């Protein structure tokens, strides 16, 4: 298992054991687990990520720490926008949609103000970092 996969596995285990709370680099940050279907493999994937609440939506940021390519989970959502998230002890079915301008820029700015690492990610790459809205489907518990 590579370092990133091992880090994700440990973070997911800690998230589930502590009702959505984790330590380390995510300590105190809003974190969810995103379940996607692999665009090419068709396999279930789970990724921990920070989010920003926006009404009943959960906004996630395809920053990939400022890499010049989008993260795999982003391509998975583009291919299969129906997904599931875990937030604390709640599981929600969601539909993913990319935010358009100018909303994308405004929501990214808010996230970067709250968590300056996101501003750094934006400076490391020439690509526009997508902001994806995860909107719950059906009843919210």
pTM for the model stands at 0.92
pLDDT of amino acid 27: 87
- CB-CB contact of 74 with 97 (8 Å): no
Which residues neighbour 41 within 8 Å (Cβ) at sequence distance 6 or greater? none
Q: d(Cα 60, Cα 111) in Å, to the nearest integer?
A: 10
- Which domains, and CATH codes, for the chain? 3-136 (2.30.110.10)
pLDDT of amino acid 140: 56
- CB-CB contact of 94 with 58 (8 Å): yes
In angstroms, the Cα distances linking 41 to 36, 71, 79 are: 11, 15, 11
pLDDT in tens, 67-96: 999 999 999 999 999 999 999 999 999 999
Examine the pLDDT at 7 and tell me if it is beyond 90: no
């Amino acid at each position: 298992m590579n370092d990133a996969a091992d880090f994700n596995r440990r973070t997911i285990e800690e998230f589930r054991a502590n009702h959505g709370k984790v330590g380390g680099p995510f300590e105190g940050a809003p974190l969810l687990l995103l379940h996607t279907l692999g665009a090419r493999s068709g396999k279930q994937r789970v990724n921990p990520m920070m989010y920003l609440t926006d009404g009943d939506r959960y906004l996630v940021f395809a920053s990939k720490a400022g890499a010049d390519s989008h993260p795999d989970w982003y391509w998975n959502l583009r291919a299969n926008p129906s997904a599931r998230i875990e937030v604390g002890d709640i599981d929600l079915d969601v539909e993913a949609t990319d935010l358009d301008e100018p909303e994308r820029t405004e929501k990214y700015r808010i996230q970067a103000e709250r968590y300056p690492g996101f501003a750094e990610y934006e400076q490391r790459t020439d690509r526009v970092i997508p902001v994806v809205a995860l909107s719950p489907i059906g009843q919210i518990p």
